[in-house]
Amino acid sequence: MAEETKKVAEETTPEVVFSDVTVRETPQPEPEKLPESPEKPDAPATGESKVEDEKEKDLVAESNSFKEESNKVDELRNPEQKALAEFKQLIQEALNKHEFTSPPPPPSPSAKEEDEKKTAVTAASEAPEAEPVTEAAPDPVTEKTVETKELEKTEEKVTPPGNEETPAAAPPSETAEEKVEAVEEIKETIVEVPAAIAVAAAEEPPAMEVEEPKTECTPPPPEEVFIWGIPLLADERSDVMLLKFLRARDFKVKEAFTMLKSVVAWRKEFKIDELLDEKELGQGLEKVVYNHGVDKGGHPVCYNAFGEFQDRELYHTTFADKEKLTKFLRWRIQFMEKSIRNLDFSPDGICTFVQVIDLKNSPGLYLFKKELRQATNRALQLLQDNYPEFVAKQVFINVPWWYPAYYRMINATFSTRTKSKFVFAGPSRSAETLFKYIAPEQVPTQYGGLSKDGEQEFTTAEPATEEIIKPASKHSIEFPVTEKCTLDWEARVTGWDVSYGAEFVPSAEGGYTILIEKSRKVGANETMISTTYKAGEPGKVVITFDNQSSKKKKLVYRSKNKLSDC
Protein backbone atom coordinates (compact mmCIF):
# COMPACT_ATOMS: atom_id res chain seq x y z
CA MET A 1 0.00 0.00 0.00
CA ALA A 2 2.83 2.38 0.82
CA GLU A 3 4.44 1.71 -2.56
CA GLU A 4 1.16 2.47 -4.38
CA THR A 5 0.78 5.74 -2.44
CA LYS A 6 4.34 6.73 -3.30
CA LYS A 7 3.78 5.94 -6.98
CA VAL A 8 0.63 8.09 -7.14
CA ALA A 9 2.46 10.96 -5.44
CA GLU A 10 5.31 10.80 -7.96
CA GLU A 11 2.87 10.90 -10.88
CA THR A 12 1.01 13.94 -9.59
CA THR A 13 3.84 16.15 -8.32
CA PRO A 14 5.75 18.68 -10.46
CA GLU A 15 9.42 18.42 -11.33
CA VAL A 16 12.12 20.62 -9.88
CA VAL A 17 15.50 21.14 -11.51
CA PHE A 18 18.75 21.51 -9.58
CA SER A 19 21.58 22.60 -11.90
CA ASP A 20 22.77 19.45 -13.71
CA VAL A 21 19.75 17.25 -13.04
CA THR A 22 15.98 17.26 -13.06
CA VAL A 23 14.25 15.67 -10.11
CA ARG A 24 10.62 14.97 -9.31
CA GLU A 25 9.24 16.89 -6.43
CA THR A 26 7.69 14.90 -3.60
CA PRO A 27 5.12 16.38 -1.21
CA GLN A 28 6.36 16.59 2.33
CA PRO A 29 4.44 15.17 5.30
CA GLU A 30 3.28 17.62 7.92
CA PRO A 31 6.15 18.00 10.43
CA GLU A 32 5.23 17.10 13.97
CA LYS A 33 6.18 19.80 16.44
CA LEU A 34 9.43 20.67 14.67
CA PRO A 35 10.98 24.05 15.47
CA GLU A 36 10.82 26.73 12.83
CA SER A 37 14.56 26.35 12.35
CA PRO A 38 16.78 23.71 13.98
CA GLU A 39 19.47 26.33 14.39
CA LYS A 40 17.34 29.05 15.88
CA PRO A 41 18.71 30.01 19.33
CA ASP A 42 15.34 29.99 21.08
CA ALA A 43 14.24 26.67 19.54
CA PRO A 44 13.71 23.83 22.02
CA ALA A 45 16.67 21.49 22.14
CA THR A 46 14.64 18.36 21.43
CA GLY A 47 16.32 15.10 20.54
CA GLU A 48 14.62 15.20 17.14
CA SER A 49 16.08 18.61 16.26
CA LYS A 50 19.54 17.47 17.29
CA VAL A 51 19.21 14.47 14.98
CA GLU A 52 18.18 16.70 12.10
CA ASP A 53 21.14 19.00 12.82
CA GLU A 54 23.54 16.07 12.82
CA LYS A 55 22.07 14.76 9.55
CA GLU A 56 22.55 18.16 7.95
CA LYS A 57 26.20 18.00 8.99
CA ASP A 58 26.43 14.59 7.37
CA LEU A 59 24.97 16.01 4.16
CA VAL A 60 27.65 18.65 4.00
CA ALA A 61 30.37 16.13 4.74
CA GLU A 62 29.27 13.54 2.19
CA SER A 63 28.86 16.16 -0.54
CA ASN A 64 32.39 17.49 -0.19
CA SER A 65 34.11 14.77 -2.21
CA PHE A 66 34.27 15.98 -5.80
CA LYS A 67 37.70 16.65 -7.24
CA GLU A 68 37.92 18.35 -10.60
CA GLU A 69 39.58 16.21 -13.24
CA SER A 70 42.60 17.24 -15.28
CA ASN A 71 42.08 18.58 -18.80
CA LYS A 72 45.54 17.54 -19.98
CA VAL A 73 45.23 14.76 -22.53
CA ASP A 74 48.44 13.03 -21.45
CA GLU A 75 47.11 12.80 -17.88
CA LEU A 76 43.89 11.06 -18.90
CA ARG A 77 43.47 7.34 -18.43
CA ASN A 78 43.99 5.17 -21.51
CA PRO A 79 40.26 4.47 -22.06
CA GLU A 80 39.55 8.20 -21.84
CA GLN A 81 42.31 9.02 -24.32
CA LYS A 82 40.93 6.44 -26.76
CA ALA A 83 37.42 7.82 -26.31
CA LEU A 84 38.65 11.34 -27.07
CA ALA A 85 40.48 10.16 -30.21
CA GLU A 86 37.37 8.29 -31.42
CA PHE A 87 35.20 11.30 -30.63
CA LYS A 88 37.44 13.59 -32.69
CA GLN A 89 37.39 11.14 -35.59
CA LEU A 90 33.59 11.14 -35.64
CA ILE A 91 33.57 14.93 -35.55
CA GLN A 92 36.06 15.15 -38.42
CA GLU A 93 33.95 12.84 -40.57
CA ALA A 94 30.86 14.89 -39.79
CA LEU A 95 32.68 18.13 -40.67
CA ASN A 96 33.83 16.64 -43.99
CA LYS A 97 30.25 15.68 -44.82
CA HIS A 98 28.84 19.02 -43.58
CA GLU A 99 26.51 17.19 -41.20
CA PHE A 100 26.47 20.00 -38.65
CA THR A 101 25.13 22.68 -40.99
CA SER A 102 23.27 20.57 -43.58
CA PRO A 103 19.51 21.18 -43.68
CA PRO A 104 17.34 18.59 -41.97
CA PRO A 105 16.04 15.73 -44.17
CA PRO A 106 12.57 16.16 -45.66
CA PRO A 107 9.75 14.79 -43.52
CA SER A 108 8.92 11.16 -44.20
CA PRO A 109 5.60 10.57 -45.99
CA SER A 110 2.66 9.65 -43.87
CA ALA A 111 1.28 6.12 -43.73
CA LYS A 112 -1.71 7.19 -45.81
CA GLU A 113 0.51 8.49 -48.62
CA GLU A 114 2.55 5.28 -48.54
CA ASP A 115 -0.62 3.17 -48.91
CA GLU A 116 -1.80 5.30 -51.84
CA LYS A 117 1.54 4.87 -53.58
CA LYS A 118 1.50 1.10 -53.06
CA THR A 119 -2.07 0.89 -54.42
CA ALA A 120 -1.11 2.85 -57.54
CA VAL A 121 1.93 0.63 -58.19
CA THR A 122 -0.14 -2.56 -57.78
CA ALA A 123 -2.84 -1.30 -60.16
CA ALA A 124 -0.26 -0.38 -62.76
CA SER A 125 1.36 -3.82 -62.62
CA GLU A 126 -1.98 -5.66 -63.00
CA ALA A 127 -3.35 -3.51 -65.86
CA PRO A 128 -2.91 -4.83 -69.49
CA GLU A 129 -0.29 -3.18 -71.62
CA ALA A 130 -1.72 -0.29 -73.58
CA GLU A 131 -1.17 -0.10 -77.33
CA PRO A 132 0.89 2.80 -78.56
CA VAL A 133 -1.14 5.77 -79.70
CA THR A 134 0.98 6.44 -82.78
CA GLU A 135 2.25 3.75 -85.14
CA ALA A 136 5.97 3.56 -85.56
CA ALA A 137 7.30 4.13 -89.05
CA PRO A 138 8.30 0.93 -90.91
CA ASP A 139 11.92 0.07 -90.48
CA PRO A 140 13.58 0.21 -93.92
CA VAL A 141 16.26 -2.17 -92.76
CA THR A 142 13.68 -4.82 -91.86
CA GLU A 143 11.88 -4.52 -95.22
CA LYS A 144 15.08 -4.80 -97.17
CA THR A 145 16.16 -7.74 -95.09
CA VAL A 146 12.90 -9.53 -95.94
CA GLU A 147 13.42 -8.85 -99.64
CA THR A 148 16.97 -10.16 -99.38
CA LYS A 149 15.77 -13.40 -97.79
CA GLU A 150 13.22 -13.86 -100.61
CA LEU A 151 15.93 -13.41 -103.22
CA GLU A 152 18.21 -15.85 -101.41
CA LYS A 153 15.41 -18.41 -101.42
CA THR A 154 15.07 -17.82 -105.17
CA GLU A 155 18.79 -18.44 -105.66
CA GLU A 156 18.53 -21.69 -103.73
CA LYS A 157 15.99 -22.89 -106.32
CA VAL A 158 18.45 -22.36 -109.18
CA THR A 159 19.67 -25.68 -110.51
CA PRO A 160 23.07 -26.53 -109.13
CA PRO A 161 25.92 -27.40 -111.50
CA GLY A 162 25.28 -30.64 -113.33
CA ASN A 163 21.47 -30.36 -113.27
CA GLU A 164 19.86 -29.25 -116.57
CA GLU A 165 16.39 -28.65 -115.16
CA THR A 166 15.09 -25.06 -115.09
CA PRO A 167 13.43 -23.86 -111.90
CA ALA A 168 9.68 -23.61 -112.33
CA ALA A 169 9.40 -20.47 -110.13
CA ALA A 170 11.87 -18.43 -112.21
CA PRO A 171 10.15 -15.80 -114.30
CA PRO A 172 10.96 -16.15 -117.99
CA SER A 173 11.63 -12.44 -118.39
CA GLU A 174 14.60 -12.28 -115.87
CA THR A 175 18.04 -13.63 -116.51
CA ALA A 176 20.43 -15.00 -113.88
CA GLU A 177 22.77 -12.04 -114.34
CA GLU A 178 20.00 -9.56 -113.58
CA LYS A 179 19.09 -11.44 -110.42
CA VAL A 180 22.68 -11.44 -109.19
CA GLU A 181 22.99 -7.74 -109.82
CA ALA A 182 19.75 -7.09 -107.85
CA VAL A 183 20.98 -9.16 -104.92
CA GLU A 184 24.34 -7.35 -104.80
CA GLU A 185 22.58 -4.01 -104.99
CA ILE A 186 20.36 -4.93 -102.02
CA LYS A 187 23.32 -6.20 -100.00
CA GLU A 188 25.17 -2.95 -100.56
CA THR A 189 22.12 -1.05 -99.30
CA ILE A 190 21.88 -3.27 -96.18
CA VAL A 191 25.56 -2.72 -95.33
CA GLU A 192 25.26 1.05 -95.70
CA VAL A 193 22.39 1.32 -93.17
CA PRO A 194 24.31 0.15 -90.03
CA ALA A 195 27.22 2.37 -91.04
CA ALA A 196 24.92 5.38 -91.14
CA ILE A 197 23.42 4.42 -87.80
CA ALA A 198 26.89 4.07 -86.27
CA VAL A 199 27.88 7.50 -87.54
CA ALA A 200 24.70 9.04 -86.09
CA ALA A 201 25.27 7.28 -82.79
CA ALA A 202 28.86 8.50 -82.71
CA GLU A 203 27.70 12.06 -83.17
CA GLU A 204 25.35 12.05 -80.09
CA PRO A 205 27.62 11.25 -77.06
CA PRO A 206 30.09 14.14 -77.39
CA ALA A 207 27.79 16.37 -75.34
CA MET A 208 27.78 13.81 -72.48
CA GLU A 209 31.52 13.21 -72.72
CA VAL A 210 32.11 16.93 -72.28
CA GLU A 211 29.87 17.06 -69.19
CA GLU A 212 31.46 14.07 -67.43
CA PRO A 213 34.63 15.91 -66.36
CA LYS A 214 32.41 18.64 -64.83
CA THR A 215 30.76 16.13 -62.49
CA GLU A 216 34.15 15.07 -61.11
CA CYS A 217 34.65 18.36 -59.22
CA THR A 218 36.74 18.58 -56.04
CA PRO A 219 34.76 18.08 -52.77
CA PRO A 220 34.07 21.20 -50.67
CA PRO A 221 36.41 21.85 -47.75
CA PRO A 222 35.29 20.70 -44.27
CA GLU A 223 32.88 23.04 -42.55
CA GLU A 224 33.95 25.11 -39.56
CA VAL A 225 31.81 24.94 -36.43
CA PHE A 226 32.43 27.03 -33.30
CA ILE A 227 31.00 26.66 -29.80
CA TRP A 228 31.68 29.41 -27.24
CA GLY A 229 34.10 30.94 -29.73
CA ILE A 230 36.19 27.76 -29.96
CA PRO A 231 36.38 25.54 -33.10
CA LEU A 232 35.44 21.90 -32.64
CA LEU A 233 38.78 20.67 -33.92
CA ALA A 234 41.75 22.98 -33.68
CA ASP A 235 44.04 22.84 -30.67
CA GLU A 236 44.21 22.04 -26.96
CA ARG A 237 41.27 24.34 -26.21
CA SER A 238 39.11 22.21 -28.48
CA ASP A 239 40.15 19.10 -26.56
CA VAL A 240 39.17 20.74 -23.26
CA MET A 241 35.76 21.60 -24.69
CA LEU A 242 35.19 18.11 -26.11
CA LEU A 243 36.09 16.55 -22.77
CA LYS A 244 33.07 18.31 -21.28
CA PHE A 245 30.74 16.42 -23.61
CA LEU A 246 32.50 13.12 -22.96
CA ARG A 247 32.34 13.52 -19.18
CA ALA A 248 28.70 14.50 -19.37
CA ARG A 249 28.04 11.13 -21.03
CA ASP A 250 30.51 9.04 -18.99
CA PHE A 251 32.88 8.81 -21.99
CA LYS A 252 30.31 7.05 -24.15
CA VAL A 253 31.44 8.36 -27.51
CA LYS A 254 28.27 7.91 -29.55
CA GLU A 255 26.10 9.51 -26.85
CA ALA A 256 28.55 12.41 -26.55
CA PHE A 257 28.51 12.87 -30.33
CA THR A 258 24.70 12.91 -30.36
CA MET A 259 24.73 15.53 -27.60
CA LEU A 260 27.26 17.66 -29.49
CA LYS A 261 25.18 17.66 -32.67
CA SER A 262 22.09 18.55 -30.63
CA VAL A 263 23.90 21.48 -29.00
CA VAL A 264 25.12 22.81 -32.35
CA ALA A 265 21.59 22.60 -33.78
CA TRP A 266 20.09 24.29 -30.70
CA ARG A 267 22.60 27.15 -30.82
CA LYS A 268 21.70 27.77 -34.44
CA GLU A 269 17.98 27.66 -33.69
CA PHE A 270 18.33 29.89 -30.60
CA LYS A 271 20.52 32.34 -32.62
CA ILE A 272 23.25 32.54 -30.01
CA ASP A 273 25.49 34.82 -32.08
CA GLU A 274 22.74 37.41 -32.34
CA LEU A 275 21.84 36.96 -28.68
CA LEU A 276 25.30 38.07 -27.54
CA ASP A 277 24.72 41.53 -29.02
CA GLU A 278 21.10 41.85 -27.91
CA LYS A 279 20.45 44.84 -25.64
CA GLU A 280 17.95 45.62 -22.90
CA LEU A 281 17.87 42.14 -21.42
CA GLY A 282 17.89 41.48 -17.68
CA GLN A 283 16.90 44.94 -16.49
CA GLY A 284 16.28 44.77 -12.75
CA LEU A 285 17.71 41.25 -12.46
CA GLU A 286 21.20 42.28 -11.39
CA LYS A 287 20.65 40.88 -7.88
CA VAL A 288 18.99 37.67 -9.00
CA VAL A 289 21.91 36.06 -10.85
CA TYR A 290 25.35 37.66 -10.81
CA ASN A 291 29.07 36.85 -10.75
CA HIS A 292 31.13 38.01 -7.80
CA GLY A 293 34.75 37.14 -7.11
CA VAL A 294 36.48 33.78 -7.39
CA ASP A 295 36.91 30.77 -5.13
CA LYS A 296 40.19 29.56 -3.65
CA GLY A 297 40.90 27.63 -6.84
CA GLY A 298 40.32 30.63 -9.10
CA HIS A 299 36.88 29.57 -10.37
CA PRO A 300 34.42 32.44 -10.94
CA VAL A 301 31.56 32.34 -8.44
CA CYS A 302 27.98 32.81 -9.65
CA TYR A 303 25.30 33.66 -7.06
CA ASN A 304 21.63 32.78 -7.57
CA ALA A 305 19.15 34.48 -5.24
CA PHE A 306 15.62 33.78 -6.44
CA GLY A 307 14.24 35.12 -3.16
CA GLU A 308 14.56 38.54 -4.83
CA PHE A 309 11.37 37.73 -6.71
CA GLN A 310 9.42 38.43 -3.54
CA ASP A 311 9.40 41.94 -4.93
CA ARG A 312 5.99 41.95 -6.62
CA GLU A 313 6.89 44.61 -9.13
CA LEU A 314 10.01 42.72 -10.23
CA TYR A 315 8.04 39.50 -10.41
CA HIS A 316 5.35 41.08 -12.58
CA THR A 317 7.79 42.74 -14.98
CA THR A 318 9.65 39.43 -15.40
CA PHE A 319 6.86 36.84 -15.67
CA ALA A 320 3.68 38.77 -16.51
CA ASP A 321 3.20 37.17 -19.94
CA LYS A 322 4.77 34.75 -22.39
CA GLU A 323 6.81 37.46 -24.10
CA LYS A 324 8.43 38.54 -20.82
CA LEU A 325 9.08 34.93 -19.87
CA THR A 326 10.87 34.39 -23.18
CA LYS A 327 12.89 37.53 -22.56
CA PHE A 328 13.89 36.18 -19.14
CA LEU A 329 15.12 32.92 -20.70
CA ARG A 330 17.10 34.77 -23.35
CA TRP A 331 18.68 36.94 -20.66
CA ARG A 332 19.68 33.87 -18.61
CA ILE A 333 21.29 32.22 -21.64
CA GLN A 334 22.98 35.49 -22.63
CA PHE A 335 24.39 35.78 -19.10
CA MET A 336 25.77 32.25 -19.34
CA GLU A 337 27.31 32.83 -22.77
CA LYS A 338 29.06 36.03 -21.70
CA SER A 339 30.36 34.35 -18.56
CA ILE A 340 31.78 31.44 -20.55
CA ARG A 341 33.58 33.79 -22.93
CA ASN A 342 35.63 34.98 -19.94
CA LEU A 343 36.86 31.47 -19.11
CA ASP A 344 40.24 30.07 -20.07
CA PHE A 345 39.89 26.81 -22.00
CA SER A 346 43.59 25.96 -21.95
CA PRO A 347 44.46 22.62 -20.27
CA ASP A 348 45.87 24.49 -17.26
CA GLY A 349 43.15 27.15 -17.28
CA ILE A 350 39.84 27.63 -15.50
CA CYS A 351 36.78 26.52 -17.48
CA THR A 352 34.17 25.91 -14.77
CA PHE A 353 32.14 27.92 -12.26
CA VAL A 354 31.18 27.62 -8.62
CA GLN A 355 27.42 28.04 -8.22
CA VAL A 356 25.98 29.40 -4.97
CA ILE A 357 22.23 28.84 -4.60
CA ASP A 358 20.66 31.02 -1.91
CA LEU A 359 17.45 29.44 -0.57
CA LYS A 360 16.70 32.32 1.79
CA ASN A 361 13.04 33.38 1.82
CA SER A 362 12.04 30.28 -0.11
CA PRO A 363 8.81 28.93 1.45
CA GLY A 364 9.34 25.55 -0.14
CA LEU A 365 10.11 24.44 -3.67
CA TYR A 366 6.61 23.07 -4.17
CA LEU A 367 5.12 26.38 -3.01
CA PHE A 368 6.90 28.55 -5.59
CA LYS A 369 4.64 30.50 -7.84
CA LYS A 370 3.77 28.72 -11.04
CA GLU A 371 5.44 31.25 -13.39
CA LEU A 372 8.67 31.33 -11.39
CA ARG A 373 8.84 27.55 -11.14
CA GLN A 374 8.27 27.13 -14.86
CA ALA A 375 10.80 29.82 -15.76
CA THR A 376 13.57 28.55 -13.50
CA ASN A 377 12.98 24.93 -14.50
CA ARG A 378 13.04 25.84 -18.18
CA ALA A 379 16.20 27.92 -17.80
CA LEU A 380 18.00 25.22 -15.83
CA GLN A 381 16.89 22.58 -18.32
CA LEU A 382 18.43 24.60 -21.15
CA LEU A 383 21.64 24.97 -19.15
CA GLN A 384 21.71 21.26 -18.39
CA ASP A 385 21.18 20.17 -22.00
CA ASN A 386 23.47 22.66 -23.72
CA TYR A 387 26.21 23.59 -21.22
CA PRO A 388 27.73 20.32 -19.98
CA GLU A 389 30.19 20.16 -17.09
CA PHE A 390 30.45 23.86 -16.34
CA VAL A 391 29.82 23.48 -12.59
CA ALA A 392 32.78 22.67 -10.36
CA LYS A 393 30.86 22.98 -7.10
CA GLN A 394 27.23 23.69 -6.19
CA VAL A 395 26.80 25.24 -2.73
CA PHE A 396 23.26 25.56 -1.30
CA ILE A 397 23.18 28.12 1.52
CA ASN A 398 20.45 29.30 3.90
CA VAL A 399 18.91 25.88 3.50
CA PRO A 400 15.55 25.80 5.34
CA TRP A 401 14.81 23.31 8.10
CA TRP A 402 12.77 21.00 5.85
CA TYR A 403 15.41 20.60 3.15
CA PRO A 404 17.61 17.81 4.67
CA ALA A 405 14.62 15.47 4.85
CA TYR A 406 13.59 16.44 1.32
CA TYR A 407 17.09 15.78 0.02
CA ARG A 408 17.20 12.32 1.56
CA MET A 409 14.01 11.45 -0.32
CA ILE A 410 15.36 12.56 -3.71
CA ASN A 411 18.95 11.51 -3.12
CA ALA A 412 18.60 8.35 -5.24
CA THR A 413 17.59 10.38 -8.32
CA PHE A 414 21.02 12.03 -8.60
CA SER A 415 24.07 10.46 -10.18
CA THR A 416 27.15 9.92 -8.03
CA ARG A 417 29.05 12.53 -10.01
CA THR A 418 26.33 15.14 -9.52
CA LYS A 419 25.91 14.43 -5.80
CA SER A 420 29.64 14.80 -5.26
CA LYS A 421 29.35 18.47 -6.32
CA PHE A 422 26.56 19.35 -3.87
CA VAL A 423 27.19 21.13 -0.55
CA PHE A 424 24.40 22.16 1.85
CA ALA A 425 24.47 24.62 4.73
CA GLY A 426 21.80 25.97 7.04
CA PRO A 427 21.45 29.69 7.86
CA SER A 428 23.86 29.68 10.82
CA ARG A 429 26.58 27.79 8.92
CA SER A 430 26.25 29.40 5.47
CA ALA A 431 29.14 31.83 5.88
CA GLU A 432 31.38 29.25 7.48
CA THR A 433 30.65 26.80 4.65
CA LEU A 434 31.31 29.41 1.98
CA PHE A 435 34.67 30.20 3.59
CA LYS A 436 35.74 26.59 2.99
CA TYR A 437 35.72 27.26 -0.73
CA ILE A 438 35.82 31.05 -1.06
CA ALA A 439 38.12 33.41 0.82
CA PRO A 440 36.24 35.86 3.10
CA GLU A 441 37.51 38.87 1.15
CA GLN A 442 35.84 37.41 -1.96
CA VAL A 443 32.46 36.70 -0.33
CA PRO A 444 29.80 39.47 -0.47
CA THR A 445 28.90 41.09 2.83
CA GLN A 446 25.30 39.83 2.68
CA TYR A 447 26.70 36.29 2.87
CA GLY A 448 29.10 36.92 5.73
CA GLY A 449 32.15 38.08 3.79
CA LEU A 450 34.08 41.34 3.54
CA SER A 451 33.52 42.18 -0.12
CA LYS A 452 31.14 45.09 -0.63
CA ASP A 453 30.03 47.12 -3.60
CA GLY A 454 31.23 50.64 -4.28
CA GLU A 455 34.34 52.33 -2.94
CA GLN A 456 36.19 50.57 -0.15
CA GLU A 457 39.52 50.81 1.60
CA PHE A 458 40.48 47.21 0.93
CA THR A 459 40.71 45.17 -2.22
CA THR A 460 40.23 41.48 -2.83
CA ALA A 461 44.03 41.17 -3.09
CA GLU A 462 44.36 42.00 0.63
CA PRO A 463 43.62 38.73 2.49
CA ALA A 464 41.55 38.42 5.65
CA THR A 465 42.27 36.43 8.79
CA GLU A 466 39.83 33.87 10.19
CA GLU A 467 39.49 33.03 13.88
CA ILE A 468 36.99 31.29 16.17
CA ILE A 469 35.29 33.02 19.11
CA LYS A 470 34.52 30.41 21.72
CA PRO A 471 31.11 30.29 23.44
CA ALA A 472 30.66 32.49 26.53
CA SER A 473 34.04 34.17 26.17
CA LYS A 474 35.79 37.37 25.11
CA HIS A 475 38.14 37.49 22.14
CA SER A 476 40.61 40.35 21.56
CA ILE A 477 42.70 41.28 18.49
CA GLU A 478 45.65 43.70 18.50
CA PHE A 479 46.76 45.86 15.57
CA PRO A 480 50.27 47.28 16.20
CA VAL A 481 51.02 50.92 15.38
CA THR A 482 54.75 51.62 15.13
CA GLU A 483 54.53 55.29 14.21
CA LYS A 484 52.08 58.04 13.53
CA CYS A 485 49.71 56.85 10.84
CA THR A 486 46.14 56.05 9.97
CA LEU A 487 44.93 52.54 10.71
CA ASP A 488 42.00 51.00 8.84
CA TRP A 489 40.33 47.75 9.82
CA GLU A 490 37.17 45.87 9.08
CA ALA A 491 35.67 42.82 10.73
CA ARG A 492 32.54 40.74 10.97
CA VAL A 493 31.22 37.82 12.96
CA THR A 494 28.96 35.17 11.50
CA GLY A 495 25.54 35.42 13.05
CA TRP A 496 26.65 38.38 15.14
CA ASP A 497 24.82 38.40 18.53
CA VAL A 498 28.06 39.67 20.12
CA SER A 499 29.30 42.88 21.70
CA TYR A 500 32.11 44.89 20.10
CA GLY A 501 34.44 47.63 21.31
CA ALA A 502 37.79 49.21 20.30
CA GLU A 503 40.49 51.26 22.07
CA PHE A 504 43.99 52.58 21.48
CA VAL A 505 46.75 51.72 23.99
CA PRO A 506 49.92 53.87 23.63
CA SER A 507 53.36 52.33 23.96
CA ALA A 508 54.73 55.10 26.21
CA GLU A 509 54.59 54.45 29.92
CA GLY A 510 51.98 56.47 31.66
CA GLY A 511 50.11 57.09 28.46
CA TYR A 512 46.34 57.23 28.51
CA THR A 513 44.19 54.60 26.80
CA ILE A 514 41.93 56.19 24.22
CA LEU A 515 38.43 54.78 23.70
CA ILE A 516 37.77 54.46 19.96
CA GLU A 517 34.41 52.69 20.07
CA LYS A 518 32.41 52.02 23.17
CA SER A 519 31.34 48.42 23.63
CA ARG A 520 27.98 47.90 21.95
CA LYS A 521 25.73 45.06 20.87
CA VAL A 522 26.05 44.18 17.22
CA GLY A 523 22.81 42.94 15.68
CA ALA A 524 22.06 40.87 12.63
CA ASN A 525 21.12 43.97 10.64
CA GLU A 526 24.74 45.20 10.67
CA THR A 527 26.69 43.61 7.85
CA MET A 528 30.24 44.66 8.68
CA ILE A 529 32.32 46.77 11.05
CA SER A 530 34.59 49.22 9.22
CA THR A 531 36.62 51.74 11.24
CA THR A 532 39.44 54.22 10.65
CA TYR A 533 41.65 55.63 13.43
CA LYS A 534 44.45 58.17 13.10
CA ALA A 535 47.15 57.41 15.69
CA GLY A 536 49.29 60.28 16.94
CA GLU A 537 51.91 58.07 18.62
CA PRO A 538 53.14 54.46 18.56
CA GLY A 539 51.00 51.89 20.33
CA LYS A 540 48.33 49.38 19.44
CA VAL A 541 44.64 49.23 18.65
CA VAL A 542 42.75 46.54 20.54
CA ILE A 543 39.33 45.38 19.36
CA THR A 544 37.30 43.08 21.62
CA PHE A 545 34.37 40.75 20.88
CA ASP A 546 32.25 39.43 23.73
CA ASN A 547 30.36 36.25 22.79
CA GLN A 548 27.86 35.39 25.52
CA SER A 549 25.94 32.89 23.38
CA SER A 550 26.28 29.14 23.67
CA LYS A 551 27.61 28.75 20.15
CA LYS A 552 31.02 29.42 18.71
CA LYS A 553 31.33 32.27 16.25
CA LYS A 554 33.41 32.71 13.11
CA LEU A 555 35.40 35.97 13.04
CA VAL A 556 37.03 37.40 9.90
CA TYR A 557 39.01 40.64 9.85
CA ARG A 558 41.86 42.54 8.18
CA SER A 559 43.75 45.79 8.74
CA LYS A 560 46.38 48.03 7.18
CA ASN A 561 48.39 51.15 7.96
CA LYS A 562 48.28 54.06 5.53
CA LEU A 563 51.71 55.61 5.96
CA SER A 564 51.05 58.24 3.33
CA ASP A 565 48.61 59.96 5.70
CA CYS A 566 51.05 60.11 8.62
pLDDT digits (tens, 9 = 90+) for 550-562: 999 999 999 998 8
What is the value of pTM for the model shown?
Answer: 0.69
Percent of the chain at pLDDT above 90?
A: 44
**For 389-398, what is the mean pLDDT?**
94
Distance CA 294, CA 128 (A): 83
* 62 band by pLDDT with thresholds 50, 70 and 90: very low
The DSSP result for 228-288, as a single string, is TTEESSSSHHHHHHHHHHHHHTTT-HHHHHHHHHHHHHHHHHHTHHHHHT--S-STT-TTT
How much is the pLDDT for 29? 45
* 137 band by pLDDT with thresholds 50, 70 and 90: very low
**For 490-511, what is the mean pLDDT?**
92
pLDDT at 104 over 60: no
How much is the pLDDT for 57? 54
Q: Which residues have a Cβ under 8 Å from the Cβ of 472 and sit 6 or more positions away?
A: 547, 548, 549, 550
The separation between CA 244 and the C-alpha centre of its own chain, rounded to angstroms, equals 9
pLDDT digits (tens, 9 = 90+) for 253-263: 999 999 999 99
What are the Cα distances from residue 269, in Å, to 97, 378, 400, 543? 20, 16, 39, 60
**For 509-534, what is the mean pLDDT?**
90
